[in-house]
Amino acid sequence: GSEDEGDFQVGAHQKIATKKKGKPGSFEAFNLSPFLFKNIKKKGYNLPTPIQRKAIPVIMEGFNVIAMARTGSGKTGAFVIPVVERLKTHSTIIGSRCIILSPTREIAMQTANYFRAMTANTDLTFVLIVGGNDMENQFERLVLNPDVIIATPGRLMHCVQETGLSLSAVEMVVYDEADRLFEMGFAEQIKALTDKMPKSRQSLLFSATISSQVRDFALSGIKDYRMLQVDKES
Ligand code: ADP
Ligand code: MG
């Protein structure tokens, strides 16, 4: 356990560098791209929260995930960080590769701010599609072919219907605050939007609680998922 255990001394002037993995449970241990690691540090985060520690590596490996952790436990980072790591750079593929569904305009805007911070010094792009904003402007920005769409389900469904927005390039979908998504009556829109995405997509569901609606949706709409849970009691 010394400072330089990342290197093996093999001769007076010869060193073989080995992969520095970082302490288990640290951000270093995830082997993130340097830009992303820097953006996390810039945000002032020193250690991942328990749900981030569980979710980030599993999502980076490509698994479907259902993650349950209390409000304030850092769930936004638990999906934004691995989404950014997986997408990494802007793609000229027609169509967005990641959809993040949020229950409210405010949560969508917070997620967008988080996403902006984590993608600093990259060319990854996103569009925010929420109620209350100028709809024409949002439609226009979709033409720019953003890598990520952060949206409330009602407004996104509207865009799909009005503009013929295709979801056929989607590789990852996030259902954030899923208990609230369903409480707010978005079940139909969520199912309709999900049906327009490729079967090969990676599905990520985050929730403070797993209600019966969330459980039913998970069972029918998400296959072979890893269930991750922290803070069971709250
Ligand atoms: P949740 O979605 O679980 O309710 P949030 O993602 O909104 O939680 O995060 C709650 C707060 O914790 C936010 O202020 C966020 O900036 C902060 N936070 C997230 N991850 C970390 C971290 N690794 N270290 C310190 N603070 C963090
Ligand atoms: Mg949240």
pTM for the full model?
0.90
Whether 167 maps to a domain, the answer reads yes
| pLDDT reported for residue 133 | 64
Q: What is the DSSP letter of 29?
A: G
* Token pair listed for 201: 């997509």
Report if residue 122 sits inside a domain: yes
Q: Containing domain of residue 104, as a range?
A: 49-229
More confident position, 1 or 227: 227
- Residue 32 inside a domain? The answer is no
62-79 per-position pLDDT tens digit? 999 999 999 999 999 999
Is residue 139 lining ligand 1, measured as CB closer than 6 Å? Answer: no
pLDDT of residue 122: 97
pLDDT, averaged across the chain: 90
**Does 97 reside within a domain?**
yes
DSSP strand pairing (172-175 vs 202-207)? parallel
**Pocket flag, ligand 1, residue 72 (CB < 6 Å):** yes
Pair of tokens at residue 22: 């970082």
Q: Measuring CA to CA, which residue among 179, 186, 125, 115 is closest to residue 152? A: 186
What is the domain count for the chain? 1
For residue 153, the CA-to-ligand 2 centroid distance in Å is: 16
Based on the number of CB atoms within 10 Å of its own CB, is 45 exposed (0-12), middle (13-18) or buried (19 or more)?
middle
Atom of ligand 1 minimally distant from the CA of 48:
23
Out of 49, 71, 104, 231, give the residue to mutate to test ligand 1, the one with the largest number of ligand atoms within 8 Å of its CB: 49
- CB 73 near ligand 1, within 6 Å: yes
* CA proximity to 30, closest of 1, 65, 55: 55
Quick check: is 68 in a domain? yes
pLDDT digits over 115-144, tens only?
Answer: 999 999 999 999 999 987 677 777 777 878
CA 113 / ligand 1 centre spacing (Å)? 13
3-state secondary structure at position 230: coil
- Residues 166-176, mean pLDDT to the nearest whole number: 97
How far apart, in whole angstroms, are the C-alpha atoms of residue 198 and residue 55? 23
Structural domain contains residue 132: yes
- Give the number of other CB atoms < 10 A from CB of residue 197: 18
Hey, is 128 helix, strand or coil?
strand
Q: Is 220 helix (H, G, I), strand (E, B) or coil?
A: helix
Cα dihedral 165, 102, 124, 20 sign: negative
Fill in the amino acid letter for 30: F
Q: Is 127 domain-assigned?
A: yes
Specify if 81 maps to a domain: yes
CATH code, 62: 3.40.50.300
